[in-house]
């Protein structure tokens, strides 16, 4: 059998996608809406304290299209803390005006395909920072789950390590062209959720997301072995903009 690649794993991750029930929100009293907004902002303030203390991170985005209105991406050192963050939102007043349209549970993952012999990447501060990343406050986000194909002659999991390494190297070269324009967080979800990985891309310019994903489709690894779930795209929602976002 083919040899499994070793992974390095960091913070646990939840992508929590919500649709807002605008009808019910409009029908609520001003007082109820004000209280719900203030409570949501103070929840984000708590997350900011955690982010600054570097014991977790988060991203809050307003989503475009029918799939969701809001995405909260939460990173925490343990599944327990991840669950607590989810529950804190679920118990808030705003949550009662939302339905969860999708969620995804995973863990930040770096694989060792591109590690050179003799290197010990676990020890490098760069690796540690990437396993416990502070999510950027960039304008746009794109999230999608994916698998590596396991069908007929196109089976990622029966390819020899050297071949997978070659394909991943080519993949990383395409990715590198977008340095400074795209930040990607790969999380692994085998055993945790319905797909094998999640891809989260942060961009300053939305078009760079499309260009990168398009260009990667022509890399052998994506062309032959990539299988993709639904794509979610959104714009950053700073805490101070919450009242404008929720104003009706
Ligand atoms: O860890 C590293 O950054 C080194 C190189 C690298 C690895 C190992 C890398 C670089 N990726 C790696 C692993 Mn990636 N990545 C994706 C997608 O849409 C598609 O076609 C695929 C979705 C994108 C857009 C993307 C971007 N990558 C992985 C894995 C795990 C595979 C496994 O273990 O079998 C997946 C599923 C995956 C998917 N990747 C990069 C990028 C970008 C932009 C880079 C360059 C990062 C940089 O050098 O700054």
pTM of the model: 0.97
DSSP 168-209: HHHHHHHHHTTTTTEEEEEEE-TTTSSSSEEEEEEESSHHHH
For the CA of 216, the closest atom of ligand 1 is: 20
Residue whose CB lies within 8 A of the most ligand 1 atoms, among 186, 193, 209, 233, for a mutation test? 186
26 annotated ligand-binding residue: no
Cα 58 to averaged position of ligand 1 atoms, centre (Å): 21
Cα 91 to averaged position of ligand 1 atoms, centre (Å): 35
- Report the complex ipTM: 0.94
Cα 79 to averaged position of ligand 1 atoms, centre (Å): 24
Q: What is the pLDDT along the chain (248 residues), one digit of tens a residue?
A: 899 999 999 999 999 999 999 999 999 999 999 999 999 999 999 999 999 999 999 999 999 999 999 999 999 999 999 999 999 999 999 999 999 999 999 999 999 998 887 888 888 999 999 999 999 999 999 999 999 999 999 999 999 999 999 999 999 999 999 999 999 999 999 999 999 999 999 999 999 999 999 999 999 999 999 999 999 999 999 999 999 999 99
């Amino acid at each position: 059998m083919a040899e499994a690649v070793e992974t390095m794993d960091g913070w646990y991750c939840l992508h929590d996608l919500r649709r807002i029930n605008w009808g019910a929100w409009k029908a609520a009293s001003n007082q109820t809406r004000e209280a719900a907004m203030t409570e949501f902002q103070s929840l984000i303030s708590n997350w900011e304290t955690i982010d600054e203390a570097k014991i977790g991170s988060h991203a809050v985005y307003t989503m475009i299209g029918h799939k969701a209105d809001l995405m909260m991406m939460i990173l925490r050192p343990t599944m327990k803390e991840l669950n607590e963050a989810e529950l804190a939102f679920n118990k808030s007043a705003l949550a009662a005006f939302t339905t969860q349209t999708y969620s995804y549970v995973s863990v930040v993952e770096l694989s060792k395909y591109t590690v050179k012999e003799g290197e010990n990447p676990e020890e490098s501060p760069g690796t540690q920072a990437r396993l416990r990343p502070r999510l950027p406050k960039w304008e746009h986000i794109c999230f999608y789950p994916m698998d590596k194909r396991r069908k007929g002659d196109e089976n990622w999991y029966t390819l020899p390590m050297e071949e997978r390494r070659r394909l991943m190297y080519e993949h990383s070269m395409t990715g590198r062209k977008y340095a400074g324009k795209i930040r990607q967080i790969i999380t692994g979800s085998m055993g945790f959720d319905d797909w094998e990985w999640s891809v989260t891309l942060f961009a300053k310019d939305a078009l760079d997301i499309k260009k990168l994903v398009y260009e990667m489709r022509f890399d052998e690894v994506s062309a032959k072995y990539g299988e993709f779930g639904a794509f979610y795209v959104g714009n950053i929602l700073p805490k101070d903009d919450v009242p404008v976002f929720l104003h009706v």
